[in-house]
Amino acid sequence: MVSVAELGTAKKNTWCPGCGNFAVLQAFKSVVSRLGLEPWEVVVVTGIGCHGKIGDYLALNSFHTIHGRVLPLATGIKLANPRLTVVGFAGDGDAYAIGIGHLPHAARRNVDLTYVVHDNKVFGLTTGQATPTTPLGMRTRSTPFGTPEEPINPIAAVLAMGATFVARAFSGDLRHLEEVLERALRHRGFAFVDVLQPCYTFYDTYGYYRERVYKLEDDGHDPSDWNEAMRRAREEEVTGGERIPIGVFYQVDRPTLLDRLPHLSGVPLVDRPPRVDVAGLLERFR
């Protein structure tokens, strides 16, 4: 089993002190270690944004892709080699602005991978512009008069898209974040985790969340009940921000894309010979 320390690298960390990304990094290393995964059997796919550096800080296979494209890249990797544990990390700009077009399709396909969104409700790396989860009216460098657009509700949206695992965690509660990530990695299918985290430099929300979050599992939530999951997903809006649930909203067992493609089960594509016999296919053109 690989230790948490062995999962780190010598790369100098350039996240701002106090950044929520540290908690995600720490929690993920713990989970990889706890699950007994071999480092070379895990692939991390990261998008563009501060979160995207996480690959450099992990002694794991990684692919730092272009802005918004974590999901299709991760999907291609998993379909090619299902033995790999594939985990995508994206920011809220990455996942909900430029890359949101991939989200419903990842949910529909239900490829066995985990998608962790570092949701700090602001673009940090490009120095503080609004994202789709920025609260209405918030002033940022790109919205000096306040954002005029309603924020999206990622949990409700992904529930509606039909994802088989939908969860939220808070970077200020490391142990709970670890539990949620572990359940996500153990889920067979597309596991979505929205991580509420502050951007210490551009949008510090530590105190705000700490006063409002509560754990679904402590509140008797049944994660097999989609309607109840949707009600809880809207709780923050409905209560005017009084109560913000974290934990697993919804989980269901459904066949993955590979389960539905029997010709791809068995020998992984990567292990098949790099040559297809086309002699028979060519005969049909005579």
Partner 1 sequence: MGMDLNVLIGGEAGDGVRQAGYLLGKAFVRGGLTVVSVFDYPSLIRGGRNLHLVRVSDSEVSAPRRGVDALVALNGDILGSFGGEVRPGGPVVFDSDASAGAEPPGRAAAYPIPATSWAREAGARRVVRNSAALGALLGALGYDLDLLLSVMGDEFPPEVYRVNAALARRGYELAARNPLPEGMRVEPVGGRGDRVLITGNEACALGALAGGMRFYAAYPMTPASPILHYLAGVQREAGIGVVQTESEIAAVVMATGAAYAGVRAATGTSGGGFSLMVEGLGQAGATETPLVIFLVQRPGPSTGLPTYTSQGDLLFAITASQGEFPRAVLAPADPEEAFYLSAEAFNIAERFQIPVIVITDKHLAESYFTVRAPDPSRVEVDRGELISGEWRGPGEYLRYALTESGISPRALPGTRGAIVKQNSSEHNERGWAEENPDTARAMTEKRLRKLLGVREALRGRSLEVVGDPDPEVTLVGWGSTRGAVLEAAARLRERGRRVRFVRFVVLWPFPSEEAQRALSNAGEIYSVENNATGQLARLLRMETGIGVDGTVLRYDGRPITHEDVLEGMGEAI
Interface with partner 1 (CB under 8 A): 9, 11, 38-41, 43, 45, 53, 55-56, 59-66, 69, 71-81, 83-84, 101-102, 104-105, 261, 263-264, 269-270, 272-282, 284-286
| Cα–Cα nearest to 89, from 23, 14, 37 | 23
Q: How would you class 68 by CB atoms within 10 Å of its CB: exposed for 0-12, middle for 13-18, buried for 19 or more? A: buried
Cβ proximity to partner 1, 105 vs 231, nearer residue: 105
Q: How would you class 5 by CB atoms within 10 Å of its CB: exposed for 0-12, middle for 13-18, buried for 19 or more? A: exposed
Provide CB contacts within 8 A for 284, sequence distance 6+: none
- Separation between Cα atoms, residue 206 and residue 20, nearest integer Å: 9
Q: How would you class 235 by CB atoms within 10 Å of its CB: exposed for 0-12, middle for 13-18, buried for 19 or more? A: middle
Cβ proximity to partner 1, 40 vs 214, nearer residue: 40
Name residue 244's beta-bridge partners: 213
| Cα–Cα nearest to 27, from 175, 165, 170, 194 | 175
- Separation between Cα atoms, residue 24 and residue 171, nearest integer Å: 7
Cβ proximity to partner 1, 21 vs 205, nearer residue: 21
Cβ proximity to partner 1, 10 vs 175, nearer residue: 10
- Separation between Cα atoms, residue 99 and residue 95, nearest integer Å: 5
Cβ proximity to partner 1, 5 vs 278, nearer residue: 278
Cβ proximity to partner 1, 23 vs 71, nearer residue: 71
Residue 259 beta carbon to partner 1: minimum distance, rounded to whole angstroms = 14
Cβ proximity to partner 1, 86 vs 159, nearer residue: 86
Residue 216 phi, psi dihedral angles, 5° rounding: -55, -40
Q: Which amino acid is at 181?
A: L
- Separation between Cα atoms, residue 8 and residue 25, nearest integer Å: 9
Cβ count near 223 (within 10 Å) = 20
Cβ proximity to partner 1, 15 vs 203, nearer residue: 15
Q: How far is CA 155 from the centre of its chain?
A: 12
Residue 228 beta carbon to partner 1: minimum distance, rounded to whole angstroms = 30
Residue 85 beta carbon to partner 1: minimum distance, rounded to whole angstroms = 10
Residue 282 beta carbon to partner 1: minimum distance, rounded to whole angstroms = 6
DSSP 96: I
